[in-house]
Amino acid sequence: MAVRIARSLVSTGCVVARSRHGVDSLLYKTLSTSVPRRTNDFYRGFPLTTTLSEATTTHTSDSLPTYRVMDEGGVVIDPQQDPKLSDEILLRMYEQMVTLREMDEQLYKAQRMGLTSFYMMCSGEEGTHFGSAAALSLEDPVYAQYREAGVLMWRGYTLDQFMNQCFSNRLEEGKGRQMPVHYGSKECNFQFISSSLATQMPHAPGYAYGLKRAGKKNCVMCYFGDGSAQEGDAHAAMNFAAVIKAPVIFFCRNNGYAISTPVDDNYAGDGIVSRARGYGMEGIRVDGNDVLAVYNVVQHARRVAVEESRPVLIEAITLRMKSHSTSDEQGRYQDMEEVQQWKEKNCPVHRLGGYLQTKGLWEQSKDAALKQSAAGEVKRAMMAARKEKKPHLNHMFTDVYDDLPPRLQKQQAEMKEMMDKYKEHYGPILSKHES
């Protein structure tokens, strides 16, 4: 009877909760159907602030403000918030942002020409990449999703390595067994990417707890998207991290869409960062297209994680300027006028460029030459990667077991037998692979 009553109340808009004593208590709080849906404006309706303390979850406003340092033109609003990065770091950020965008364009075209099987764009989110990467140490392990190519680039991953991976040639570290854009590098302390959403998230606090037990003064950086935040692994990871006090930073790129699903249909609360209080961790919302604001926030979060051994949740508000991947068309679900407005007013590349110009470090007249140079380097690396042979077919069976088990030995023998029997058909394929 109690179950039937509870179900009836749920169906009529009432909430059913279980008390601490295990007795069903009925909270007669009708779920309002007049709650306004959040629109996909520049900052999802979140207020802006230039004060870091107001952008943390200790603030008492209904909607947590979004921390920023620069306005849309790259002008610093409050000079005290300027991190005053060195000229070398600022110029490197700008040059690599431009290079990353050129790589995005060229690999997108390559997929459309049938040269690669797949690609995922990250144009529009460069501020989250380079602002966060510059605030971390190379000894801080990174668990990424699949839109953090700039973090790898900052850590020293070369254009040749990017292209080798996307073209799955013999020089690629994964030996051709990963989809394009599923990067990874031991030297860059960047864990290999998994296609499945949020699977990296429970790993991050585990690794972070290991660093803590070993006495390392480092933290783990875990990137994920607003869509991944709806996965069960996200809840498990953040709750686990808060309970064991793991030195991990959870960095959410809230770009407005989980593939084609807008945030309105993903959650009803105050974004992603509002969950931090429930888990018992610090949370900060930041303007993801403001590279200086992202730097300040991640630097602060790293100090909390390393010195106080506490996890931090960061929500970076940004927008994906391209489709989710080459498998979808953004114009079918995204407001293209909004995208154009973001390109004109909130592009992280333009904003950093404006900041550099005000400091006398850059002239707009140099942009064309920089883009041309970056495009040339991308094309050179792409041509070199295309000329390399594919990995040896035996790598289909290696690197899982130390000693190949009998069943895989049998499969490998069957493959070789098939190749030998039908050489006229498999010959062209074998000629493209490492012998």
Helix, strand, coil shares of the chain, percent, nearest 5, are 45, 10, 45
| Higher-pLDDT residue of 256, 369 | 369
Residues 409, 150: Cα–Cα separation, whole Å: 40
The answer to whether 50 and 292 are in contact (CB under 8 A) is no
37, pLDDT greater than 80: no
Amino acid at 176: G
The yes-or-no verdict on residue 16 having pLDDT over 60 is no
The percentage of residues in the chain with a pLDDT greater than 90, rounded to a whole number, is: 76
Q: Which of 8-12, 181-185, 212-216 has the lowest mean pLDDT?
A: 8-12
Instruction: Determine the pLDDT at residue 46.
Output: 79
- Looking at the whole model, is its pTM more than 0.95? no
Separation between Cα atoms, residue 366 and residue 404, nearest integer Å: 56
pLDDT value of residue 55? 81
Please tell me the distance from the alpha carbon of residue 263 to that of residue 120, in angstroms, as a whole number.
20
Under the banding of pLDDT at 50, 70 and 90, the label for residue 218 is very high
What average pLDDT does the chain have? 88
Contacts of 195 (CB under 8 A, 6+ apart): 146, 179, 182
Say whether pLDDT at 340 is over 90.
no
What percent of the chain stands above pLDDT 70? Answer: 89
Average pLDDT of 4-14?
36
pLDDT value at residue 4: 41
Region 344-367: mean pLDDT is: 94
Mean pLDDT value of segment 110-121? 95
Least confident of 52-56, 65-69, 107-111, 398-402: 52-56
Residue 415 pLDDT > 90: yes
Q: What is the mean pLDDT of residues 387-415?
A: 94
Task: Tell which wins on pLDDT, 22 or 380.
Answer: 380
Confidence of residue 12 (pLDDT cuts 50, 70, 90): very low
Q: How confident is the model at residue 40 (pLDDT cuts 50, 70, 90)?
A: low
pLDDT at 58: 58
Residue 239 confidence class, pLDDT cut points 50, 70, 90? very high
Residues in the chain: 435
Domain 48-387 homologous superfamily, CATH: Thiamin diphosphate (ThDP)-binding fold, Pyr/PP domains (3.40.50.970)
pLDDT exceeds cutoff 80 at 21: no
Structural domain boundaries of the chain? 1-34, 48-387, 393-431
Query: Residue range 257-267: average pLDDT?
Result: 90
Contacts of 149 (CB under 8 A, 6+ apart): 100, 103, 122, 129, 162, 181, 183
